[in-house]
Copies of this chain bind each other. A is one copy, B any other.
């Protein structure tokens, strides 16, 4: 195993001091041009690479950021990570990743690990909306922190999020525009901030259009299996006496379950039942008819999150906030009238 070359090796080879070598390598101006050339030549020859650990220790800086996500194999989060990495690599930052699996304790231990490791900043999509004690540690240490997708209620951190309520609002207004009169909602777990935000958009859209909310038309997922929930709750809705003629679901996966229910009950989509999902995940285009949905620009959000983080790392003390606008993607599942092109983005 050939040892990694270090400054001293170059210095010895040229019979000069390591200080000079260091300067030559780091483009300091007070250096003789010919010396510099020699140094660079030998460095190349020895395949010299600076030891980043030593540099970090000395400079007390470390080009590594941490990203903590609830679930790495969840499509949306993987696109967020993609966005972060895009930008990070361009700025010569390395990205270490941790997966909390929606477990606050695991989230805490990952943050702890990152902290100990000395990351210069952290981008995190917290598992809960409540500010946890482990976040304040970061603030005390003044380590830059940017939240993605789930701002905390105490509102002291920079964040990048998505306009969840408005996405739901647009979805439901669209259904109303298409002539659906009785619009149900299948929401997620009650303590999920995101789900509640979407539900509020649903309620608002009904209100603004003088439709009264029917409590029997609001269902809540209980299982961990979104599709199954969608299937069961969708069936409940479709079998009820005053069955709805449209359903807004909290995710595309839930909507996929409703497709199954509709198929079983021979309910035509979009003729008898209009449907809009949420997230624009891969599933949505594989369903038939294709599912109208609300787009979540994960990559862009990740990129913006890194930009924010970098600004903070460079010294900005402002609390940076950005809310991405909601965009509805209209497809076959909600278009009764042929007036709207199947793929138009409204």
A4 in contact with B141 (CB, 8 Å)? yes
A318 touches B (CB below 8 Å) = no
Partner of A82, one of B64, B99, B285: B99
CB distance from A56 to the nearest CB of B (A): 5
Find chain B residues with CB under 8 A from A110 CB: 89
Say whether A49 contacts B85, CB under 8 Å.
Answer: no
A72 in contact with B82 (CB, 8 Å):
yes
- Within 8 Å CB of A75, what residues of B? 73, 75
**How many copies, total?**
2
A142 contacts partner chain B, Cβ-Cβ < 8 Å: yes
Judge if A91 is at the interface, Cβ distance under 8 Å.
Answer: no
Is A72 a contact of B85 with CB atoms below 8 Å?
yes
Whether A140 is near chain B, meaning CB under 8 Å from some CB there, is yes
- Selected contact of A51 from candidates B79, B81, B97, B118, CB within 8 Å: B118
A283 at the interface (CB under 8 A from B): yes
> If the complex has contacts A94-B113, A286-B287, are A72 and B78 also in contact, measured as CB distance less than 8 A?
yes
SS of A interface (majority): helix
Select from chain B the residue with minimum beta-carbon distance to A299.
B73
Residues of B near A4 (CB, < 8 A) are 141
B85 close to A97 (CB less than 8 A): yes
Sort chain A's interface into a size bin. Answer: 35 or more
**Contact, CB under 8 Å: B49 / A53:** no
Residues 241-285 (chain A) with a chain B CB within 8 angstroms: 256, 259-260, 263, 281-283, 285
A143 to B77, CA, bound (A): 31
Smallest beta-carbon distance A221→chain B, Å: 17
How long is the Cα–Cα vector from A114 to B260 in the complex, in angstroms?
46
A interface, CB within 8 angstroms of B:
1-2, 4, 49-54, 56-57, 62, 64, 72-73, 75, 78-79, 81-82, 85, 89, 92, 94-99, 110, 113-118, 140-142, 227, 256, 259-260, 263, 281-283, 285-288, 298
